[in-house]
Amino acid sequence: MIHQKFSIVGLAVVACHSHAQTVAASETAATPAPTTLAPVKVTADRNIALRADTAPATTKGTTPLIKTPMSVQVIPQALIEDRQANTLRDALETVSGVFAGSTSLHEDIIVRGFPLYDTYRNGARTRRIGVTELANAERVDILKGPSSAQFGRGDISGLLNVITKKPEAVPYWSVQQQVGSRDFYQTQVDATGPVNADATLRYRVNLAYENAGSFRDYAGTDRAFIAPSLSWVPDASTRVDLDLELSRDKSPIDRGIVAFGDRPARVPSHLSYSEGFTNYRNDVALLALNARHHLNDTWTLRLNGLAEQGKGQGLEYLQAKGDGLEVMRMARRIEQRDLENQFLSFELGGTPNWLGLKHDLVVGVDHARHDGSFDFRYGDLETTPDLFHPAFPSGAPATTTQDLIHNGGRSTGVYAQDQIAFGERFNLMLGARYDVSREHMDNVGVTTTDSEDDKLSPRIGLLYTLSPGRALYASYTQSFSDGNSANGQALKPITANQYEIGFKAESADKRFFTNVALYDLTKKNIVVPDPLDSSLSIQIGEARSRGLELDVGGVVMSHVNLMGSYTYTDATVTRDTTGNEGHRLYGVPRHAAKLFARYDLQQGGSQGLSLGAGVLAMGQQQGDTANSFQIPGYVRMDLMASYKWRTAEHRWTAQLNVLNVGNITYYQPSGARDEIAIGKPLTVLASIRLTH
């Protein structure tokens, strides 16, 4: 956010990436002789709660978020940088209603009581295994509650949409080096600018390489990521973006520890039931095409396409608690874990005035397909008599028992959404989507199942503006998602409906916001880990999540930035035939509070010293749906200090983050007794960044 506007003959100011450049304005015959002026320094705010006015890739509309009857939060780049968040899980730690589960192979993020299995990239659903890279992320949008009316089959309780950086006409580059505890090293490079003289062709390249040890035995990270992109902008009406992402992640799969009695086993944080020769490699290639063309001042055509391929191979150990102090494990060799995912959508969006009313209309059609091939080989069951001092047979295991699974699906959806403004006070949202999908599950030699689903998903919302920047809203939404397979068996479609009321407010200068939401979300045919085998899934009848979410953020005083939230969640099983009725859902504390605040010695935080602190307070959680053990509550504190300065044409940032200052031991559940992750102990991260 630029503090001042300048109207100076012969001078123009261009802001980019929280920095500014001075460029010469074009001369005209009517322009008087220029006057030599002293250099003007323009400073941009680094608001860690900077509110995007709109989020069209997430809401499917151009109506400002303050007038949209749904709960959408935005994590801006400034907050990601201040917290040195290298993963999506880390970036979401200040948002209400969002909790992290196990840190194994998947990101396992829980929103409004239910886990999310996929993330979105610029509005297109991905099906990747492993972490979502943030090196090329401009921001992260979080839509709370069902999203089927906009995106079709997907996770019931919310949507995480990573908005990527785009090539720009103004040259810019940055290099950052991070070092940290336990041999952590990460290098990031970001460069953008014009390819040709008139800047109609632009490029951007983001690179990241991470090599790190771990506080856990036999664990560590070796990750590489490159994301080149190219944009064609022939005029103000047309833009075409072509993106490529290539990533390689070599990180052994860490299944954590087991439960002992009604708590996680009190074993040393470093202890693992794995071996030094375990390994896993995951390679992902993604190609995306986004295009838009303004037909006129009212109507715009948009295209969004994505093709993704992931390949995984490795050796891991599955584990389970036996009788007494006994722990069992079984080697699983992943010969093949191949995933293919394609998505294509066409949209027509417009802002017509019909019958004296302002409309924000979008109609579209999309098609998605996914295919997976899984070849797993299992070894013999091994046992150690003492979970505190494990002693398993030595040597690489033989893996001879094969489990071969093929699955795939196709879905086509048509949708329409209209946000209608009745004057300055009322905004009505009407949306509906109809999906046709087909799923095929083949556990070779065991079962083959085909399923067909057709579903209409409506959304209705009403917002009333109390005064400029303050509004009340109410909404009702239905949604549905895939039934995840278990041993090749197709599960019943998962359906849900949600009622929500809320209050939104933002300051006149949009530097501070408040969001309050009350919701009631009911989900049928929910999928949870099988208590008899955590590598499989089962469906139980129905669960309901009710809660209160409060998010605040922005510039509270001239030198203080903050982002904070409070969540109350009552998430319970309401109908079940397996004995879980009345139980709380796993991984969801009743109470949670989160805060990150930054004090800037110089207002705006773009220069000089900044000091920050974060607090994460989590109540007790259930470890599984059977409520057979509990995850203790905890309070974790983080600290940050940074210093920014300029030399000639460059900007420098030196930063230090201390995570888990108190070195507390805390846990993150997966929904099973046999896979409990341990949070990071005291960790120090230092970085230096050079920007031009």
pLDDT tens, position by position, 214-242: 999 999 999 999 999 999 999 999 999 99
Q: Is the confidence at residue 7, as pLDDT, over 70?
A: no
Residues 61, 190, single domain; the answer is: yes
How open is the CA angle 91-164-432, to the nearest 5 degrees? 90
Does residue 115 fall inside a structural domain? Answer: yes
Does residue 398 fall inside a structural domain? Answer: no
Contacts of 276 (CB under 8 A, 6+ apart): 217, 218
Q: Is the confidence at residue 577, as pLDDT, over 90?
A: no
Does residue 610 fall inside a structural domain? Answer: yes
Looking at residue 19, what is its pLDDT? 38
Structure token digits, residue 145? 């509650």
Residues 17, 79, single domain; the answer is: no
Residues 35, 80, single domain; the answer is: no
d(Cα 497, Cα 492) in Å, to the nearest integer? 16
Q: What is the pLDDT of residues 123-141, one digit of tens each?
A: 999 987 888 889 999 999 9
Bridge partners of residue 404, in order along the sequence = 375
Calculate the average pLDDT of the chain. Answer: 88
Q: Are 598 and 612 in contact (CB under 8 A)?
A: yes
Q: Are 158 and 232 in contact (CB under 8 A)?
A: no
CATH code, domain carrying 249: 2.40.170.20
Which of 124, 137, 105 shows the shortest CA–CA distance to 227?
137
More confident residue, 346 or 523: 346
Bridge partners of residue 655, in order along the sequence = 642, 687
Look up the domain containing 123 and give its range.
56-268+276-389+414-691
Looking at the structure of the chain, the number of domains it has is 2
Place of tokens 């070195």: 663
Residues 361, 292, single domain; the answer is: yes
Does residue 402 fall inside a structural domain? Answer: no
Q: Are 650 and 626 in contact (CB under 8 A)?
A: no
d(Cα 16, Cα 101) in Å, to the nearest integer? 36
d(Cα 519, Cα 504) in Å, to the nearest integer? 15
Residues 32, 165, single domain; the answer is: no
Residues 117, 1, single domain; the answer is: no
Looking at residue 535, what is its pLDDT? 59
Residues 60, 40, single domain; the answer is: no
Residues 22, 68, single domain; the answer is: no
- Kindly indicate the confidence band of residue 536, based on its pLDDT and cuts at 50, 70 and 90: low
Residues 447, 313, single domain; the answer is: yes
Q: Is the confidence at residue 670, as pLDDT, over 70?
A: yes
Does residue 406 fall inside a structural domain? Answer: no
Q: Are 460 and 432 in contact (CB under 8 A)?
A: no
Residues 464, 552, single domain; the answer is: yes
What radius of gyration, in Å, describes the C-alpha atoms of the chain?
26
Q: What is the pLDDT of residues 458-475, one digit of tens each?
A: 999 999 999 999 999 999
- Mean pLDDT lowest for which of 374-378, 402-406, 577-581? 577-581
Q: What is the pLDDT of residues 615-651, one digit of tens each?
A: 999 999 999 999 999 999 999 999 999 999 999 889 9
- pTM, to two decimals: 0.89
- Mean pLDDT lowest for which of 246-260, 486-500, 514-528? 486-500
Looking at residue 182, what is its pLDDT? 95
Does residue 506 fall inside a structural domain? Answer: yes
Q: What is the pLDDT of residues 62-92, one digit of tens each?
A: 999 999 999 999 999 999 999 999 888 889 9
d(Cα 72, Cα 55) in Å, to the nearest integer? 9
Does residue 405 fall inside a structural domain? Answer: no
Does residue 256 fall inside a structural domain? Answer: yes
- What whole-number percentage of the chain has pLDDT above 90? 73
Residues 24, 77, single domain; the answer is: no
Residues 18, 107, single domain; the answer is: no
